[in-house]
Structure 1
Amino acid sequence: MTTFSHSQERQIDSLLAKYGESHLNHTNEVIHFICIPAIVFSFLGMIWALHPLAAVAVTVVSLLYYFRLSVPFAIGMLLMSGIMLWILSVLPQAQVLKVSLAVFVVAWIGQFIGHKIEGKKPSFFDDLRFLLIGPLFVLSFLYRRFRIAY
């Protein structure tokens, strides 16, 4: 990754740093690595239950935001979202809403437990954009592990 002075810092770096301030506890991070993808999947599933094209549209809109922040992250989110949408497409339609609601509730309970352990409130309470940054926070760990620049 390129080093930037504070005035030249990319928006994605700034957002990830701010998000990371309330995600320093290892247990909270592990919870987030499990729960954030589960929340994304269940959110897409709830929308899919309304209409599959609506889930695709929400995915496209979020990808446009991600492309503005970072092309490598957008590609990662495209892959992740594509897999999630494919899974939703092969699930029995009658089960999608039930499964999605259950996963959504359990994953959010996990998130709040993680923040209780951390001792800090979730970032999205201050800025709703962090609901979209959470998946990138998780992806950033994977990218760093595999030395993929973002």
Structure 2
Amino acid sequence: MKTLEQWFEEYAVSHQNPKNKTIHYICVPSIYFSIVGLLMSIPSQFIGNTLKLNTPVIENWATVVLLFVLIFYIRLSFTMAIKIAIFSVICLFLNYYIGQILPLWLFSIGVFVIAWIGQFYGHSIEGKKPSFIKDLQFLMIGPAWVVENLFSRK
């Protein structure tokens, strides 16, 4: 199993151009955020009836999926898992409030599509294919790479 640092080294190979990096710093969190919103949009009566917490921020499919996402990150780095967990909670709350104003599924699809267009534009600038074409696990490494690059003390 690769370490988080090994994943980052391999991911960084196709993310050298400063414009592409900037695009990724915006688009990767946006894609993550929009996926959380899409998952929150799935009806979740089963979860609500099981947990009976009466908290829509927690009782949804996004929370269930994010628990599995955190397992992936815990296996790589407990510290990174904490950082991703904090970002995930922010995504849950922001999506909840957006859903009070707009149709969340529609907003999330819009963000998702625009962010992916940005990603592919960034890779056209870079002149290299996105890493996830080689290994789908890079879809999980991207958010960690952004967190590491934006908030590390390096």
Unmatched 5+ stretches in structure 2? 44-58
Alignment of 1:66 with 2:66, yes or no, is no
**Residue 48 of structure 1, aligned match among 37, 40, 54:** 40
Q: Following the alignment from structure 1 to structure 2, what is the Cα–Cα distance between the partners of residues 123 and 75?
A: 24
Alignment of 1:126 with 2:118, yes or no, is no
Task: Give the structure-1-normalised TM-score.
Answer: 0.87
Q: Following the alignment from structure 1 to structure 2, what is the Cα–Cα distance between the partners of residues 117 and 10?
A: 28
Aligned to 1:5: none
Paired-residue identity, % = 41
Q: CA RMSD in A?
A: 1.6
Aligned to 1:21: 13
**Counterpart amino acid of residue 3 in structure 2:** Q
Offset at residue 39 of structure 1 (A): 0.1
Moved over 3 A (4+): none
Secondary structure at 2:110's aligned position in 1? helix
Deviations 1:80-114 (A, max 9, x none): 00000011122235510111000000000000000
Unmatched 5+ stretches in structure 1? 1-8
Offset at residue 10 of structure 1 (A): 6.1
Cα distance change of structure 1 residues 86 and 61 upon mapping to structure 2, 3 Å threshold: same
Aligned to 2:53: none
Secondary structure at 2:20's aligned position in 1? helix
Task: Give the structure-2-normalised TM-score.
Answer: 0.85
Offset at residue 119 of structure 1 (A): 0.2
Count of residue correspondences: 138
Deviations 1:26-53 (A, max 9, x none): 0000000000000000011111111352
**Counterpart amino acid of residue 83 in structure 2:** G
Aligned to 1:92: 99
**Counterpart amino acid of residue 81 in structure 2:** A
Alignment of 1:117 with 2:109, yes or no, is no
